[in-house]
């Protein structure tokens, strides 16, 4: 039966077959004739299918272009088949090139639609085969295997190539596919009439399978079956080298390992220089040679070869993997800027991750190794370069991977800047800004990981970074989200962090509500200890010092908090501080009683005295326990101040009680002096400790204030003890610590007072004149400091010193 069902049409084809026109004219007449009304679109596409069978994909492709305006491409299975197969056949010679792999995706779309509609009659096997080829060369292994298996039913001619691809696809999948790969290989080898070429290909396949099974020693038996005159010999030699490389990785004997690598390198060099080596094998062998040099520790040589392999064919699998290896070696050599150059070349070669050839490394391994490079740059403190690599990752990988590297890098960089800010080498604002960037990335990352087990940890980390960035509202927003989704048993740390943030903002009411919930719901959770500490501070800020003291005492003695814990230490120091505050408050209240008498104030003085002594004992123990803890200096100051203010009780007992005997007054004076002597000793120890610290590190504002208060505290106590010469010496030492600053004025006026009390009026006037001279030398930019460290502003001092000049 004629192909098109018409004798006239058959004759036309015969006439065409016998025509001897020139190429262009012949094709023109051919298409003019075929496209005449006598030919339906269906008949024309049947002819195109036949042309494809005859290898004339060019004619078939041209026909689809001419017919496209006259048919519905979405519903014509013949057109879809012819167009799809034409693309596949056209790409066959350079099927692994980037452009052709991109075309294969177009072919897949066409052939999948044709398959859904039903391949043209008689072409189901070929259609599945060509679709399998496309899927195989775009690395869609499961789908490729399925289509190729189907193709063998109706297209037995392609069975050998189909089994070869199925075998390779199985090898490119996880190791649980190795048995299926063995079965495909057995079917391939069992085919009747295999050519010598095909038999050699099965030998190589056997070797690859043994290599995948981690049994490289058995590969050689198969590879040695291939003779030097075989067209597969070069590929077999390359697999010999690959096998030797794998053996070197398995060997624990360094000498044997070096021997394997040397043998592999010798084989690869022969393949690279031989004129008989196929182009692809030569390119791959050159890349492998660079790998071997790396394994041999010859890193500069490895970089040279890998760089050459990268440049030979920038879009090839070898070039991309060479760029990856090159970047790793450069990182190892700490040639950091060159690392980024290599990764930039790598991403230029990939362009579209769908088209990445996983022959040497899988997409997952590529991404993992690139992330390792980024993490390596981060750990080596190359933060800008790590962030640049993160930007490169966005080119081909989903944003989540770049966000992971960015967030961790920014957080690490911020932590380094935080330490530098603490040391005074950078501005704290830089650290805060970097923590803010890190927090934003962690928050973005959390939105990408909503279903991940890491989601809550990312939210938590974002909150911590916002907190360090002083973005407390943002931090609290993250913490509220965290508390919403975290399981109840794990919420304690969230409540603590939220309460801490409100405390930092001075919102003590909100802070106390949250902290008390943490304490109530999680009384034995580690977070509850810090919650009690912070809640005690909140209670004190709210004016309930007794409740605050009780909470700290409970934290220290009623639970399992270890004395080695920082929270125990802070609670211990804070307890002494609050007892001091309570004592000071009681002293202020009793001293404010109008028309005071001992009968009215005795109870108040004695209560404040007991608290001051208790505070001194508590703070003294804290100073002994934690001498190197920087906040202890404030506690040490309060220790000295406790003794000084405790001395007020025996002094007032003597002053306000007119009925006391001389012996009783003498006893009270001795007690007062003993307390003041203790205060002087502690003030001296304190300013010596702070001075020693200041000599080794930069003095910050808090240290300077404590140093000033300690010097003046000691001098004032010596003054109270009527040890005027010692007091003068202490005031002079204080003045020397703050030359041409407002503090000097206080010291000089007190020196004048000591001289006056000892009847040395000339010396007193000299000190006042010196104070006037110092006042003139104090620069105007320090005017704001007067009221914070002295009894008045500049004008007050001018008036006061003018008055003191007339002191008699």
Phi/psi at 55 (5° precision): 85, 10
Same domain? 672 vs 743: no
Nearest to 299 by CA among 330, 339, 260, 323: 330
The pLDDT tens digits of the residues spanning 167-210 come to 999 998 887 889 999 999 999 999 999 999 999 999 999 999 99
Share of the chain above pLDDT 70, in %: 94
Contacts for 79 with CB less than 8 Å, ≥ 6 apart: 41, 45, 64, 67, 68, 71, 73
Same domain? 709 vs 694: yes
In a domain? residue 687: yes
In a domain? residue 268: no
Of the residues 681, 697, 721, the one at which a domain ends: 721
Quote the CA–CA distance of 304 and 286 in Å, as a whole number. 11
Please report which confidence band the pLDDT of residue 312 belongs to, taking 50, 70 and 90 as the band edges. confident
Residue with the larger pLDDT of the pair 220 and 805:
220
**What's the mean per-residue pLDDT of the chain?**
90
Phi/psi at 120 (5° precision): -55, 150
Average pLDDT over residues 431-439: 97
Q: What angle do CA 800, 804, 807 make, to 5 degrees?
A: 155
Q: Which pLDDT value is given to residue 353? A: 84
Contacts for 710 with CB less than 8 Å, ≥ 6 apart: 637, 640, 683, 684, 686, 687, 690
- 376: helix, coil or strand? helix
Tokens representing residue 488 in the block: 């109840």
Number of domains in the chain: 2
Quote the CA–CA distance of 753 and 745 in Å, as a whole number. 12
Q: Is the pLDDT of residue 624 over 60?
A: yes
Of the residues 721, 739, 764, the one at which a domain ends: 721
Same domain? 605 vs 680: yes
- Helix, strand, coil shares, percent, the chain, to 5: 80, 0, 20
Quote the CA–CA distance of 696 and 136 in Å, as a whole number. 68
Quote the CA–CA distance of 499 and 481 in Å, as a whole number. 15
Quote the CA–CA distance of 306 and 526 in Å, as a whole number. 54
Quote the CA–CA distance of 746 and 771 in Å, as a whole number. 9
Average pLDDT over residues 1-10: 33
Nearest to 475 by CA among 490, 447, 496: 496
Same domain? 620 vs 672: yes
Same domain? 622 vs 710: yes
Quote the CA–CA distance of 119 and 153 in Å, as a whole number. 14
CA distances for 302 relative to 307, 400, 648, angstroms: 8, 32, 81
Q: Tokens 């804070």 map to which residue? A: 574
Quote the CA–CA distance of 106 and 121 in Å, as a whole number. 22
Q: Which pLDDT value is given to residue 693? A: 75
Q: Is the pLDDT of residue 630 over 90?
A: no
Same domain? 728 vs 710: no
On whether the CB atoms of residues 677 and 646 are closer than 8 A, the answer is no
- 465: helix, coil or strand? helix
Please report which confidence band the pLDDT of residue 36 belongs to, taking 50, 70 and 90 as the band edges. low
Sign of CA dihedral 584, 586, 589, 593: negative
DSSP 740-776: TSHHHHHHHHHHHHHHHHTT-HHHHHHHHHHHHHHHH
Same domain? 693 vs 736: no
Same domain? 653 vs 732: no
Same domain? 770 vs 748: yes
Nearest to 439 by CA among 456, 417, 460: 460
In a domain? residue 631: yes
Q: Which pLDDT value is given to residue 174? A: 84
CA distances for 66 relative to 55, 63, 660, angstroms: 19, 5, 126
Quote the CA–CA distance of 36 and 26 in Å, as a whole number. 15
Q: Which pLDDT value is given to residue 17? A: 36
Q: Is the pLDDT of residue 265 over 50?
A: yes
In a domain? residue 779: yes
In a domain? residue 413: no
Q: Is the pLDDT of residue 797 over 60?
A: yes
On whether the CB atoms of residues 681 and 616 are closer than 8 A, the answer is no
Range of the domain at 631: 595-721
In a domain? residue 675: yes
Sign of CA dihedral 148, 152, 158, 163: positive
Q: Which pLDDT value is given to residue 697? A: 52
The pLDDT tens digits of the residues spanning 753-794 come to 999 999 999 999 999 999 999 999 999 999 888 898 889 999
DSSP structure class, residue 647: T
Same domain? 717 vs 729: no
- Burial class of residue 770 (count of CB atoms within 10 Å of its CB; 0-12, 13-18, 19+): middle
Please report which confidence band the pLDDT of residue 315 belongs to, taking 50, 70 and 90 as the band edges. confident
Average pLDDT over residues 102-108: 93
The pLDDT tens digits of the residues spanning 565-575 come to 999 999 999 99
Average pLDDT over residues 398-406: 96
Same domain? 610 vs 707: yes
In a domain? residue 494: no
Do you know the residue count of the chain?
808
In terms of C-beta distances under 8 Å and separation of at least 24 residues, what long-range contacts does 597-606 make, across chains too? Answer: 597/656, 598/652, 598/653, 598/656, 598/657, 601/652, 601/656, 602/653, 605/648, 605/649, 605/652, 605/653, 606/649
Please report which confidence band the pLDDT of residue 695 belongs to, taking 50, 70 and 90 as the band edges. low
Q: Which pLDDT value is given to residue 16? A: 36
Quote the CA–CA distance of 7 and 68 in Å, as a whole number. 27
Average pLDDT over residues 275-293: 95
Same domain? 611 vs 704: yes
Average pLDDT over residues 408-416: 98
Residue with the larger pLDDT of the pair 674 and 312:
674
Q: Which pLDDT value is given to residue 33? A: 46
Average pLDDT over residues 356-380: 94
Tokens representing residue 336 in the block: 């950091």
Average pLDDT over residues 643-649: 96
Contacts for 110 with CB less than 8 Å, ≥ 6 apart: 80, 81, 83, 84, 87
Question: Lowest-confidence range among 109-118, 699-708, 742-751?
Answer: 699-708
**What does the radius of gyration of the chain's CA atoms come to, in whole angstroms?**
44
Nearest to 370 by CA among 393, 354, 388: 393
In a domain? residue 780: yes
The CATH number that applies at residue 782 is: 1.25.40
Q: Is the pLDDT of residue 12 over 50?
A: no
DSSP structure class, residue 156: G
Q: Is the pLDDT of residue 616 over 60?
A: yes
On whether the CB atoms of residues 169 and 208 are closer than 8 A, the answer is no
Average pLDDT over residues 794-802: 89
The pLDDT tens digits of the residues spanning 538-583 come to 999 999 999 999 999 999 999 888 999 999 999 999 999 999 999 9
Contacts for 778 with CB less than 8 Å, ≥ 6 apart: 740, 741, 742, 794
Q: Which pLDDT value is given to residue 4? A: 30
Packed helices 566-591 and 526-541: angle between N→C axes, nearest 10 degrees = 20
Contacts for 127 with CB less than 8 Å, ≥ 6 apart: 81, 85, 111, 114, 115, 119, 120, 151
pTM of the model: 0.78
Of the residues 693, 721, 749, the one at which a domain ends: 721
The pLDDT tens digits of the residues spanning 705-720 come to 898 999 999 999 999 9
């Amino acid at each position: 039966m004629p192909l098109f069902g018409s004798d006239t049409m058959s004759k036309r084809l015969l006439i065409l077959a016998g025509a001897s026109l020139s190429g262009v004219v012949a094709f023109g007449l051919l298409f003019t004739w075929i496209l005449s009304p006598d030919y339906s679109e269906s008949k024309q596409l049947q002819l195109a299918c036949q042309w494809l069978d005859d290898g004339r994909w060019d004619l078939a492709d041209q026909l689809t272009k001419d017919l496209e305006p006259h048919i519905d491409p979405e519903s014509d299975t013949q057109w879809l088949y012819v167009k799809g197969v034409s693309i596949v056949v056209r790409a066959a010679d350079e099927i692994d090139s980037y452009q052709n792999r991109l075309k294969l995706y177009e072919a897949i779309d066409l052939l999948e639609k044709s398959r859904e509609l039903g391949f043209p009659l008689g072409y189901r096997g070929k259609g599945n085969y060509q679709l399998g080829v496309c899927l195989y060369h775009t690395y869609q292994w499961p789908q490729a295997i399925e289509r190729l298996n189907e193709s063998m039913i109706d297209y037995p001619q392609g069975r050998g190539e189909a089994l070869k691809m199925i075998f390779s696809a199985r090898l490119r999948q996880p190791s649980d596919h190795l048995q299926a790969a063995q079965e495909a290989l057995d079917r391939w080898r069992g085919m009747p009439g295999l050519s010598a070429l095909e038999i050699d290909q099965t030998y190589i396949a056997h070797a690859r399978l043994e290599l995948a099974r981690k049994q490289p020693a058995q590969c050689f038996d198969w590879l040695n079956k291939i003779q030097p005159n075989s067209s597969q010999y070069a590929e077999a030699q390359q697999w010999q080298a690959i096998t030797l490389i794998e053996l070197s990785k398995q060997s624990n004997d360094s000498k044997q390992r070096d021997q394997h690598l040397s043998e592999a390198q010798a084989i690869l060099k022969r393949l690279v220089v031989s004129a008989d080596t196929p182009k692809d094998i030569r390119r791959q062998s050159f890349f492998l040679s660079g790998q071997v040099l790396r394994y041999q520790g010859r890193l500069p040589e490895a970089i040279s070869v890998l760089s050459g392999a990268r440049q030979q064919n920038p879009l090839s699998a070898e070039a991309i993997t060479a760029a990856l290896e090159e970047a790793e070696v450069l990182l190892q050599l700490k040639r950091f800027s060159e690392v980024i150059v290599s990764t930039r070349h790598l991403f230029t070669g990939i362009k579209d991750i769908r088209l990445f050839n996983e022959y040497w490394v899988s997409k997952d391994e590529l991404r993992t190794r690139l992330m390792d490079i980024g993490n390596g740059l981060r750990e080596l403190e190359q933060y800008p370069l790590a962030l640049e690599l993160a930007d490169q990752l966005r080119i081909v990988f989903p944003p989540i991977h770049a966000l992971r590297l960015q967030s961790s890098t920014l957080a690490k960089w911020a932590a380094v800047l935080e330490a530098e800010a603490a040391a005074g080498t950078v501005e704290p604002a830089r650290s805060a800004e970097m923590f803010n960037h890190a927090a934003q990335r962690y928050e973005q990352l959390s939105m990408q990981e909503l279903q991940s087990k890491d989601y809550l940890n990312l939210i938590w980390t974002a909150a911590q970074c916002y907190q360090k960035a002083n973005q407390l509202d943002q931090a609290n927003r993250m913490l509220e989200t965290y508390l919403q989704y975290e399981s109840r048993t794990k919420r304690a740390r969230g409540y603590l962090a939220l309460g801490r943030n409100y405390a930092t903002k001075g919102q003590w009411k909100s802070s106390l509500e949250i902290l008390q919930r943490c304490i109530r719901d999680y009384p034995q959770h580690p977070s509850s200890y810090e919650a009690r500490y912070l809640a005690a501070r909140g209670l004190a800020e709210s004016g309930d010092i007794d409740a605050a003291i009780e909470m700290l005492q409970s934290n220290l003695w009623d639970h399992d908090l270890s004395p080695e814990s920082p929270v125990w230490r802070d609670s211990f120091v804070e307890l002494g501080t609050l007892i001091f505050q309570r004592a000071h408050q009681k002293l202020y209240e009793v001293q404010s009683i109008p028309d005071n008498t001992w009968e009215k104030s005795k109870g108040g003085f004695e209560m404040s005295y007991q608290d001051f002594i208790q505070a001194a004992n508590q703070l003294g123990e804290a100073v002994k326990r934690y001498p190197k803890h920087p906040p202890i200096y404030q506690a040490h100051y309060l220790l000295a101040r406790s003794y000084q203010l405790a001395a007020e009780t025996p002094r007032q007992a003597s002053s306000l009680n007119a009925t006391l005997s001389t012996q009783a007054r003498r006893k009270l004076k001795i007690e007062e002096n003993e307390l003041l002597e203790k205060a002087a000793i502690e003030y001296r120890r304190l300013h010596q400790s702070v001075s020693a610290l200041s000599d080794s590190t930069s003095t910050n504002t808090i240290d300077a204030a404590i140093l000033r208060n300690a010097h003046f505290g000691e001098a004032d106590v010596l003054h109270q003890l009527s040890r005027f010469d010692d007091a003068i010496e202490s005031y002079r030492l204080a003045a020397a610590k703050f030359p041409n600053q407002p503090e000097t004025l206080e010291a000089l006026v007190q020196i004048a007072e000591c001289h006056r009390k000892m009847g040395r009026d000339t010396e007193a006037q000299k000190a006042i004149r010196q104070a006037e001279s110092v006042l003139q030398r104090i620069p105007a930019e320090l005017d704001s400091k007067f009221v914070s460290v002295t009894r008045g502003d500049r004008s007050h001092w001018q008036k006061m010193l003018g008055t003191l000049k007339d002191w008699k």
